[in-house]
Amino acid sequence: MAQQDVDDWRRRHEITVFGTNVPKPVRTFEEASVPEFMLNEILKAGFTEPTAIQSQGWPMALSGRDMVGIAQTGSGKTLSFLVPAVVHIVAQPELKRGDGPIALILAPTRELAVQIQGECVKFGSSTGVKSTCVYGGVPKYTQMGDLRNGVEVVVATPGRMIDMLEAGVTNCRRVTYLVLDEADRMLDMGFEPQIRSIVSQVRPDRQTLLWSATWPKEVQTLAKDFLNADFIQVNIGSLDLQANKHIQQIVEVVQDEREKNDRLFRYLREVVGMARTIIFVDTKKMADSLCRQLRQSGINALAVHGDKSQQERDYVVNEFKAGRAPIMIATDVASRGLDVKEIAYVINYDMPGDIESYIHRIGRTGRKNQTGGYNEGTALTYVEPPASKVLLDLVDVMDKAGYPASPELRSLASQAKGASSRGYGGRGGHRGYRPGGGGHGVSGGNAIPVGRRY
């Protein structure tokens, strides 16, 4: 491509790159020079062209250089690092007994880790690339067996990976391809000590890829500490936190929970019907309570939250994906990592305490489809007094996405300015988390999120 063509392509797809000698984007799968065995799998899955992050991310990752990818939820980030991972692995010597993985992918939640490993099986099985998923909440013996038998790819949550390393079940001596996915969320959840412990055991000649939906100072520090100084970066869209413009945002101000319940039940019956819908709540108790109320009124709903066993969580998600339970009530355990293309509605029964969580919750709908476009979606949010600072951010996000806030919401948000000056800080601390002691299956009491347990 001529440089003018490159500039036009990047401008049209809102791609911004940083660094020296950044590879040119690819416009088709064929241009990506992906090996034929991978190309066949991609086409078989129904994809017709790369998404924006794949268009620029693939050549960057395939260059072998350290990189940062910033793109909104649902933009196709997973394949942006998985396809190059498989290409990287098949170029390495085969595993020997006692070797650890070649590619290590760290993710913040079980749901996201399972989703990534599912894609790895889909796109790596034809090459003989073996993978496993290592996460808490289930017995360790199956995961330990996979690791001892040898796998090229490990997708893991930080806490359980620490367990496996401390037990000597696996090691990072052969990891030459390291991925930190949803880095902002991992930091939000207090996993920085575990991430640093794991990365310290990975060889220094690795290729490191850091992926995130946002680019706050904390993530920038992580990139500076873990990546080579000459790393390259791609941003899709603005660095300002933005909502997907393909998601219609509706916000209703309610006075109390009784009014909120009445409006919710009416909306589910009159508008939603049998369409696949996620209802987000703040607490596990509310998730179970609302689920009971819906089922008693004849609406088929299931709930998922952090107190459910992994078997229960898998059952709920599978029933939801299959459409047998079209309504799923969830805490923020499902705000990232749940990729169901047919989700038509997201309802925030409780408005989250920070705007990042709001963006990621509503991002469960309006996701990229296989033709490269976006599915349309609707996000309904209920807001109750008193005013909180997050409402100011909410109004800004809605305005930027082309869904102007109502006068009632603007009036409530404006009250937050005065409340903030009087010391009212809304719910939560830094994005609703603060470090502290605790378990989470990690010995030594590393910093773990306290307060809301998802």
Q: Which CATH number fits domain 3-236: 2.40.50.100, 1.10.10.10, 3.40.50.300, 2.60.40.420?
A: 3.40.50.300
pLDDT in tens, 100-138: 999 999 999 888 999 899 989 888 777 889 999 999 988
Question: What are the extents of the domains in the chain?
Answer: 3-236, 247-421
**Fold agreement (3-236, 247-421):** yes
Question: What pLDDT does residue 366 have?
Answer: 81
Query: In this structure, which amino acid lies at residue 186?
Result: M
245: Cβ contacts below 8 Å, ≥ 6 apart: 401, 402
Distance CA 56, CA 22 (A): 9
pLDDT of 294 > 60? The answer is yes
Question: What pLDDT does residue 442 have?
Answer: 32
Strands 232-236 and 345-348 turn out to be unpaired
Q: Alpha carbon 276 to chain centroid distance? A: 19
Q: Do residues 38 and 31 lie in contact, with contact meaning Cβ atoms separated by under 8 Å?
A: no
Question: What pLDDT does residue 241 have?
Answer: 63
pLDDT in tens, 12-49: 998 999 999 999 999 988 888 777 777 888 888 778 88
pLDDT in tens, 41-96: 888 877 888 889 999 999 999 999 999 999 876 678 898 999 999 999 999 999 99
247-421: CATH class = alpha beta
- Is the preceding peptide bond at 386 cis, omega within 30 degrees of 0? yes
pLDDT of 435 > 80? The answer is no
Mean pLDDT of the 200-208 span = 96
Looking at per-residue pLDDT, the higher value among 30 and 290 belongs to 290
Looking at per-residue pLDDT, the higher value among 422 and 452 belongs to 422
When the pLDDT of each residue in the chain is averaged and rounded to a whole number, the result is 85
pLDDT in tens, 264-287: 999 999 999 899 999 999 999 999
Question: What pLDDT does residue 328 have?
Answer: 95
Q: Furthest-apart CA pair in the chain: how many Å?
A: 66
pLDDT-based confidence at residue 370 (cuts at 50, 70, 90): low
pLDDT of 445 > 60? The answer is no
How many other CB atoms are there within 10 angstroms of residue 438's CB atom? 14
pLDDT of 444 > 70? The answer is no
Per-residue b/e over 153-189, b at no fewer than 16 CB within 10 Å? Answer: bbbbbbbbbbbbbeeebbbbebbbbbbbbbbbbbbbb
pLDDT of 428 > 50? The answer is no
Distance CA 387, CA 276 (A): 31
